[in-house]
Chains A and B, each alone.
Chain A
Amino acid sequence: MPEAVAAHAEAHGHPAHAHHPALQHHFETLEQQKEASVLGMWIFIIQEVMFFGGLLLAYFLYRVWYHEAWVEGSNELDILLGGINTVVLIGSSLTMALAVRSAQVGSKKGTVNWLIVTMVLGLVFLVIKFFEYKHKYDLNHIPGANFVFEGPHAPQVQIFISLYFGLTGLHALHMVIGFVLLSVIAWMAHKDRFSPEWYTPVEMSGLYWHFVDIVWIFLFPLLYLVDRTHRLG
Protein backbone atom coordinates (compact mmCIF):
# COMPACT_ATOMS: atom_id res chain seq x y z
CA MET A 1 0.00 0.00 0.00
CA PRO A 2 1.56 3.35 -1.06
CA GLU A 3 2.37 5.79 1.74
CA ALA A 4 -0.32 8.34 0.88
CA VAL A 5 -3.00 5.68 0.69
CA ALA A 6 -1.98 4.21 4.04
CA ALA A 7 -1.95 7.62 5.72
CA HIS A 8 -5.36 8.45 4.34
CA ALA A 9 -6.82 5.08 5.38
CA GLU A 10 -5.65 5.76 8.93
CA ALA A 11 -7.35 9.18 8.90
CA HIS A 12 -10.59 7.41 7.99
CA GLY A 13 -10.11 4.81 10.67
CA HIS A 14 -11.11 2.03 8.33
CA PRO A 15 -8.08 0.61 6.54
CA ALA A 16 -10.32 -1.87 4.71
CA HIS A 17 -11.60 0.98 2.55
CA ALA A 18 -8.15 2.27 1.76
CA HIS A 19 -7.96 4.49 -1.28
CA HIS A 20 -5.89 7.32 -2.75
CA PRO A 21 -6.49 10.62 -0.88
CA ALA A 22 -7.40 12.36 -4.12
CA LEU A 23 -10.17 9.85 -4.86
CA GLN A 24 -13.49 11.30 -3.79
CA HIS A 25 -15.92 8.93 -2.17
CA HIS A 26 -18.57 9.02 -4.86
CA PHE A 27 -16.19 7.60 -7.46
CA GLU A 28 -15.20 3.96 -7.75
CA THR A 29 -11.70 4.47 -9.11
CA LEU A 30 -9.27 7.25 -9.99
CA GLU A 31 -9.78 6.41 -13.69
CA GLN A 32 -13.52 6.92 -13.37
CA GLN A 33 -12.97 10.18 -11.49
CA LYS A 34 -10.62 11.46 -14.17
CA GLU A 35 -13.00 10.43 -16.95
CA ALA A 36 -15.75 12.48 -15.27
CA SER A 37 -13.47 15.52 -15.08
CA VAL A 38 -12.43 15.18 -18.73
CA LEU A 39 -16.06 14.93 -19.84
CA GLY A 40 -17.06 17.94 -17.77
CA MET A 41 -14.18 19.97 -19.15
CA TRP A 42 -15.11 19.03 -22.71
CA ILE A 43 -18.71 20.06 -22.18
CA PHE A 44 -17.43 23.41 -20.92
CA ILE A 45 -15.19 23.68 -24.00
CA ILE A 46 -18.11 22.85 -26.34
CA GLN A 47 -20.03 25.70 -24.72
CA GLU A 48 -17.02 27.95 -25.39
CA VAL A 49 -16.92 26.76 -29.02
CA MET A 50 -20.56 27.80 -29.42
CA PHE A 51 -19.75 31.15 -27.81
CA PHE A 52 -16.97 31.93 -30.28
CA GLY A 53 -19.04 30.20 -33.00
CA GLY A 54 -21.73 32.87 -32.73
CA LEU A 55 -19.20 35.64 -33.30
CA LEU A 56 -17.61 33.75 -36.17
CA LEU A 57 -21.06 33.31 -37.68
CA ALA A 58 -21.48 37.10 -37.64
CA TYR A 59 -18.04 37.34 -39.24
CA PHE A 60 -19.00 34.90 -42.05
CA LEU A 61 -22.31 36.60 -42.86
CA TYR A 62 -20.89 40.12 -42.89
CA ARG A 63 -18.00 38.88 -45.01
CA VAL A 64 -20.48 37.61 -47.60
CA TRP A 65 -22.37 40.91 -47.56
CA TYR A 66 -19.49 43.40 -47.38
CA HIS A 67 -16.65 41.56 -49.04
CA GLU A 68 -14.93 44.77 -50.27
CA ALA A 69 -14.87 46.16 -46.75
CA TRP A 70 -13.51 42.86 -45.44
CA VAL A 71 -10.65 43.09 -47.96
CA GLU A 72 -9.89 46.68 -46.91
CA GLY A 73 -10.12 45.97 -43.20
CA SER A 74 -8.12 42.76 -43.35
CA ASN A 75 -5.29 44.49 -45.23
CA GLU A 76 -4.97 46.89 -42.30
CA LEU A 77 -3.81 44.10 -40.01
CA ASP A 78 -0.15 43.27 -39.52
CA ILE A 79 0.53 39.76 -40.85
CA LEU A 80 4.02 39.69 -39.34
CA LEU A 81 2.81 40.36 -35.78
CA GLY A 82 -0.14 37.99 -36.26
CA GLY A 83 2.21 35.33 -37.61
CA ILE A 84 4.67 35.71 -34.73
CA ASN A 85 1.78 35.41 -32.30
CA THR A 86 0.62 32.23 -34.05
CA VAL A 87 4.06 30.67 -33.61
CA VAL A 88 4.24 31.87 -29.99
CA LEU A 89 0.81 30.47 -29.13
CA ILE A 90 1.31 27.10 -30.83
CA GLY A 91 4.69 26.97 -29.08
CA SER A 92 2.93 27.57 -25.77
CA SER A 93 0.61 24.68 -26.58
CA LEU A 94 3.67 22.47 -27.02
CA THR A 95 5.12 23.55 -23.66
CA MET A 96 1.69 23.06 -22.03
CA ALA A 97 1.52 19.51 -23.44
CA LEU A 98 5.04 18.92 -22.04
CA ALA A 99 3.90 20.27 -18.64
CA VAL A 100 1.05 17.74 -18.59
CA ARG A 101 3.48 15.01 -19.64
CA SER A 102 5.85 15.96 -16.81
CA ALA A 103 2.93 15.68 -14.38
CA GLN A 104 2.08 12.25 -15.82
CA VAL A 105 5.59 10.96 -15.21
CA GLY A 106 5.73 12.63 -11.80
CA SER A 107 8.41 15.25 -12.53
CA LYS A 108 7.53 18.17 -10.27
CA LYS A 109 10.40 20.31 -11.58
CA GLY A 110 9.41 19.63 -15.19
CA THR A 111 5.77 20.48 -14.51
CA VAL A 112 6.56 23.79 -12.80
CA ASN A 113 9.17 24.81 -15.37
CA TRP A 114 7.06 23.96 -18.42
CA LEU A 115 4.09 25.79 -16.89
CA ILE A 116 6.26 28.87 -16.36
CA VAL A 117 7.52 28.71 -19.97
CA THR A 118 3.89 28.43 -21.12
CA MET A 119 2.93 31.47 -19.06
CA VAL A 120 5.86 33.49 -20.42
CA LEU A 121 4.83 32.63 -24.00
CA GLY A 122 1.25 33.62 -23.15
CA LEU A 123 2.56 36.92 -21.85
CA VAL A 124 4.60 37.50 -25.03
CA PHE A 125 1.41 36.93 -27.02
CA LEU A 126 -0.50 39.49 -24.95
CA VAL A 127 2.28 42.09 -25.20
CA ILE A 128 2.37 41.76 -29.01
CA LYS A 129 -1.43 41.98 -29.04
CA PHE A 130 -1.19 45.15 -26.95
CA PHE A 131 1.08 46.81 -29.53
CA GLU A 132 -1.29 45.78 -32.32
CA TYR A 133 -4.17 47.39 -30.42
CA LYS A 134 -2.09 50.49 -29.70
CA HIS A 135 -1.34 50.86 -33.40
CA LYS A 136 -5.09 50.72 -34.13
CA TYR A 137 -5.68 53.30 -31.41
CA ASP A 138 -3.07 55.66 -32.87
CA LEU A 139 -4.77 55.42 -36.29
CA ASN A 140 -8.21 56.13 -34.75
CA HIS A 141 -9.34 52.69 -35.90
CA ILE A 142 -11.19 52.02 -32.66
CA PRO A 143 -14.89 51.55 -33.51
CA GLY A 144 -17.14 54.26 -32.11
CA ALA A 145 -17.64 58.01 -32.34
CA ASN A 146 -13.98 58.73 -33.14
CA PHE A 147 -13.62 56.06 -35.80
CA VAL A 148 -11.71 57.37 -38.82
CA PHE A 149 -11.09 55.32 -41.94
CA GLU A 150 -10.08 56.49 -45.40
CA GLY A 151 -11.87 54.53 -48.07
CA PRO A 152 -15.19 54.02 -49.80
CA HIS A 153 -16.51 51.44 -47.32
CA ALA A 154 -15.66 53.05 -43.99
CA PRO A 155 -18.95 52.12 -42.19
CA GLN A 156 -18.59 48.48 -43.22
CA VAL A 157 -14.89 48.43 -42.38
CA GLN A 158 -15.97 49.57 -38.93
CA ILE A 159 -18.05 46.39 -38.66
CA PHE A 160 -14.98 44.35 -39.62
CA ILE A 161 -12.83 46.11 -37.05
CA SER A 162 -15.54 45.73 -34.39
CA LEU A 163 -15.54 41.99 -35.02
CA TYR A 164 -11.73 42.02 -35.00
CA PHE A 165 -11.71 43.65 -31.58
CA GLY A 166 -14.57 41.48 -30.32
CA LEU A 167 -12.98 38.21 -31.39
CA THR A 168 -9.36 38.99 -30.51
CA GLY A 169 -10.39 40.83 -27.34
CA LEU A 170 -12.41 37.88 -26.04
CA HIS A 171 -9.58 35.59 -27.07
CA ALA A 172 -7.11 37.78 -25.16
CA LEU A 173 -9.44 37.71 -22.13
CA HIS A 174 -9.34 33.90 -22.29
CA MET A 175 -5.54 34.10 -22.38
CA VAL A 176 -5.51 36.28 -19.26
CA ILE A 177 -7.82 33.82 -17.48
CA GLY A 178 -5.57 30.98 -18.67
CA PHE A 179 -2.54 32.82 -17.33
CA VAL A 180 -4.12 33.13 -13.87
CA LEU A 181 -5.19 29.48 -14.02
CA LEU A 182 -1.69 28.30 -14.91
CA SER A 183 -0.10 30.36 -12.13
CA VAL A 184 -2.39 28.64 -9.60
CA ILE A 185 -1.59 25.22 -11.10
CA ALA A 186 2.15 25.98 -11.08
CA TRP A 187 1.89 26.95 -7.41
CA MET A 188 0.00 23.73 -6.62
CA ALA A 189 2.64 21.72 -8.49
CA HIS A 190 5.35 23.53 -6.55
CA LYS A 191 3.55 22.57 -3.32
CA ASP A 192 3.67 18.87 -4.31
CA ARG A 193 -0.08 18.58 -4.72
CA PHE A 194 0.14 16.35 -7.81
CA SER A 195 1.31 12.80 -8.41
CA PRO A 196 1.30 10.46 -11.42
CA GLU A 197 -1.93 9.00 -9.93
CA TRP A 198 -3.64 12.39 -9.69
CA TYR A 199 -2.76 15.42 -11.80
CA THR A 200 -6.26 16.23 -13.07
CA PRO A 201 -6.02 20.03 -12.61
CA VAL A 202 -2.87 20.13 -14.78
CA GLU A 203 -4.61 18.12 -17.49
CA MET A 204 -7.79 20.26 -17.34
CA SER A 205 -5.84 23.54 -17.58
CA GLY A 206 -4.04 21.96 -20.52
CA LEU A 207 -7.35 21.30 -22.27
CA TYR A 208 -8.38 24.92 -21.67
CA TRP A 209 -5.07 26.31 -22.93
CA HIS A 210 -5.17 24.17 -26.09
CA PHE A 211 -8.74 25.30 -26.73
CA VAL A 212 -7.63 28.95 -26.58
CA ASP A 213 -4.87 28.02 -29.02
CA ILE A 214 -7.44 26.49 -31.40
CA VAL A 215 -9.50 29.70 -31.33
CA TRP A 216 -6.42 31.60 -32.51
CA ILE A 217 -5.75 28.95 -35.17
CA PHE A 218 -9.06 30.07 -36.70
CA LEU A 219 -8.77 33.80 -35.97
CA PHE A 220 -5.37 34.22 -37.61
CA PRO A 221 -6.33 33.08 -41.13
CA LEU A 222 -9.86 34.50 -40.99
CA LEU A 223 -8.91 37.99 -39.80
CA TYR A 224 -5.39 38.47 -41.15
CA LEU A 225 -5.00 36.21 -44.15
CA VAL A 226 -7.94 35.19 -46.33
CA ASP A 227 -8.52 38.48 -48.15
CA ARG A 228 -4.90 39.48 -48.49
CA THR A 229 -4.71 39.08 -52.29
CA HIS A 230 -8.18 40.36 -53.09
CA ARG A 231 -7.42 44.07 -52.85
CA LEU A 232 -9.62 45.65 -55.47
CA GLY A 233 -7.87 48.42 -57.41
Chain B
Amino acid sequence: MSHIAPVKSYVTVFGTLMVLTTITVAAAFTNLGSLNFPVALAIAITKATVVILFFMHVKYSSKLTKFVVASCLFFLACLFGLTFTDYLSRGWFASPRGTTMAGTQVTVGPDAPGAAEKAAPAEGGPEH
Protein backbone atom coordinates (compact mmCIF):
# COMPACT_ATOMS: atom_id res chain seq x y z
CA MET B 1 0.00 0.00 0.00
CA SER B 2 1.92 3.09 1.13
CA HIS B 3 5.52 3.41 2.19
CA ILE B 4 6.14 2.18 5.75
CA ALA B 5 9.28 3.75 7.19
CA PRO B 6 11.18 1.80 9.88
CA VAL B 7 10.87 3.03 13.48
CA LYS B 8 14.60 3.71 13.48
CA SER B 9 14.28 6.31 10.72
CA TYR B 10 11.65 8.24 12.72
CA VAL B 11 13.94 8.23 15.77
CA THR B 12 16.78 9.51 13.56
CA VAL B 13 14.54 12.33 12.32
CA PHE B 14 13.69 13.20 15.93
CA GLY B 15 17.40 13.20 16.82
CA THR B 16 18.17 15.50 13.88
CA LEU B 17 15.45 17.93 15.02
CA MET B 18 16.85 17.91 18.58
CA VAL B 19 20.38 18.65 17.30
CA LEU B 20 19.03 21.53 15.20
CA THR B 21 17.09 22.85 18.23
CA THR B 22 20.31 22.82 20.28
CA ILE B 23 22.17 24.65 17.51
CA THR B 24 19.49 27.33 17.23
CA VAL B 25 19.51 27.92 21.03
CA ALA B 26 23.33 28.07 21.05
CA ALA B 27 23.27 30.50 18.10
CA ALA B 28 20.80 32.69 20.00
CA PHE B 29 23.28 33.16 22.85
CA THR B 30 26.07 34.10 20.44
CA ASN B 31 26.04 37.66 19.17
CA LEU B 32 26.20 37.34 15.39
CA GLY B 33 24.95 40.89 14.89
CA SER B 34 22.53 41.13 12.00
CA LEU B 35 23.18 37.46 11.17
CA ASN B 36 21.28 36.13 14.22
CA PHE B 37 17.98 36.53 12.43
CA PRO B 38 18.82 34.81 9.10
CA VAL B 39 20.62 32.00 10.94
CA ALA B 40 17.62 31.33 13.22
CA LEU B 41 15.26 31.46 10.23
CA ALA B 42 17.45 29.14 8.15
CA ILE B 43 17.54 26.56 10.96
CA ALA B 44 13.76 26.80 11.42
CA ILE B 45 13.20 26.30 7.68
CA THR B 46 15.54 23.27 7.73
CA LYS B 47 13.63 21.77 10.67
CA ALA B 48 10.28 22.39 8.98
CA THR B 49 11.57 20.75 5.79
CA VAL B 50 12.68 17.66 7.73
CA VAL B 51 9.25 17.39 9.39
CA ILE B 52 7.43 17.84 6.05
CA LEU B 53 9.56 15.29 4.18
CA PHE B 54 9.70 12.50 6.77
CA PHE B 55 7.02 12.92 9.46
CA MET B 56 4.47 14.11 6.92
CA HIS B 57 5.57 11.51 4.35
CA VAL B 58 5.90 14.01 1.50
CA LYS B 59 9.17 12.38 0.41
CA TYR B 60 7.18 9.23 -0.40
CA SER B 61 4.10 10.98 -1.79
CA SER B 62 2.96 11.33 -5.37
CA LYS B 63 4.26 14.07 -7.66
CA LEU B 64 0.90 15.82 -7.46
CA THR B 65 1.06 16.00 -3.65
CA LYS B 66 4.63 17.30 -3.82
CA PHE B 67 3.55 19.95 -6.30
CA VAL B 68 0.66 21.09 -4.08
CA VAL B 69 2.95 21.25 -1.03
CA ALA B 70 5.52 23.27 -2.97
CA SER B 71 2.81 25.67 -4.17
CA CYS B 72 2.58 26.80 -0.56
CA LEU B 73 5.99 28.45 -1.01
CA PHE B 74 4.67 30.35 -4.00
CA PHE B 75 1.71 31.74 -2.06
CA LEU B 76 3.92 32.68 0.89
CA ALA B 77 6.37 34.37 -1.51
CA CYS B 78 3.48 36.46 -2.91
CA LEU B 79 2.34 37.47 0.58
CA PHE B 80 5.79 38.39 1.87
CA GLY B 81 7.32 39.59 -1.41
CA LEU B 82 4.57 42.02 -2.37
CA THR B 83 4.19 43.41 1.15
CA PHE B 84 7.93 43.85 1.72
CA THR B 85 8.54 45.56 -1.63
CA ASP B 86 6.09 48.19 -0.45
CA TYR B 87 6.91 48.64 3.24
CA LEU B 88 10.66 48.13 3.16
CA SER B 89 11.22 50.45 0.19
CA ARG B 90 9.33 53.41 1.65
CA GLY B 91 11.55 56.43 2.10
CA TRP B 92 14.23 55.25 -0.31
CA PHE B 93 13.88 58.41 -2.40
CA ALA B 94 12.18 60.77 0.05
CA SER B 95 14.64 60.81 2.91
CA PRO B 96 17.27 63.59 2.59
CA ARG B 97 19.95 61.36 4.11
CA GLY B 98 19.23 58.23 2.23
CA THR B 99 17.45 55.69 4.31
CA THR B 100 17.45 53.74 7.52
CA MET B 101 18.05 50.03 7.26
CA ALA B 102 14.33 49.58 7.51
CA GLY B 103 13.69 51.78 4.54
CA THR B 104 11.39 53.86 6.63
CA GLN B 105 11.59 56.07 9.64
CA VAL B 106 9.08 55.61 12.37
CA THR B 107 8.92 58.37 14.93
CA VAL B 108 7.18 57.79 18.23
CA GLY B 109 7.22 60.78 20.54
CA PRO B 110 9.57 63.79 20.49
CA ASP B 111 12.46 61.87 22.09
CA ALA B 112 12.38 59.09 19.53
CA PRO B 113 15.82 58.16 18.16
CA GLY B 114 16.60 60.32 15.14
CA ALA B 115 13.90 62.89 15.87
CA ALA B 116 16.43 65.67 16.61
CA GLU B 117 18.61 65.13 13.51
CA LYS B 118 15.58 64.93 11.30
CA ALA B 119 14.47 68.42 12.28
CA ALA B 120 17.92 70.00 11.77
CA PRO B 121 18.85 69.78 8.06
CA ALA B 122 15.52 71.14 6.85
CA GLU B 123 16.83 74.32 5.12
CA GLY B 124 19.79 72.76 3.28
CA GLY B 125 19.30 70.87 0.04
CA PRO B 126 16.16 69.76 -1.74
CA GLU B 127 13.64 68.30 0.63
CA HIS B 128 12.33 65.59 -1.69
B52 touches A221 (CB 8 A): no
A35 touches B75 (CB 8 A): no
A101 touches B7 (CB 8 A): yes
Q: Which of B2, B32, B51 contacts A210 (CB 8 A)?
A: B51
Which residues of the partner chain A approach B62 to less than 8 Å between Cβ atoms?
A: 35
Q: Known contacts being A53-B79, A101-B7, is A221 close to B2, with CB within 8 Å?
A: no
Nearest opposing residue in chain B for A35, CB measure: B62
Nearest opposing residue in chain B for A64, CB measure: B102
Q: Mark A209-233, 1 if CB is under 8 A from B, else 0.
A: 0110110011011101111111000
A101 touches B5 (CB 8 A): yes
Which residues of the partner chain B approach A30 to less than 8 Å between Cβ atoms?
A: 1
Q: Known contacts being A35-B62, A210-B55, is A79 close to B5, with CB within 8 Å?
A: no
Q: How far is the CA of A98 from the CA of B31 in the complex (A)?
A: 38
Smallest CB–CB gap between B16 and chain A, Å?
10
Q: How far is the CA of A68 from the CA of B51 in the complex (A)?
A: 33
Number of interface residues of A (CB under 8 A): 58
Q: Known contacts being A50-B76, A94-B11, A97-B10, is A221 close to B83, with CB within 8 Å?
A: no
B75 touches A156 (CB 8 A): no
| A interface, over-half SS | helix
Smallest CB–CB gap between A42 and chain B, Å?
5
Q: How far is the CA of A142 from the CA of B83 in the complex (A)?
A: 29
The answer to whether A90 has its CB under 8 Å from any CB of chain B is yes
B30 touches A229 (CB 8 A): yes
Nearest opposing residue in chain A for B72, CB measure: A46
A221 touches B51 (CB 8 A): no
Which residues of the partner chain A approach B29 to less than 8 Å between Cβ atoms?
A: 228-229
Nearest opposing residue in chain A for B14, CB measure: A94
Which residues of the partner chain B approach A66 to less than 8 Å between Cβ atoms?
A: 106
- 10 further contact pairs, Cβ within 8 A, besides A42-B69, A46-B71, A83-B25: A35-B64, A38-B65, A53-B79, A65-B102, A90-B18, A94-B10, A97-B10, A97-B13, A221-B41, A229-B32
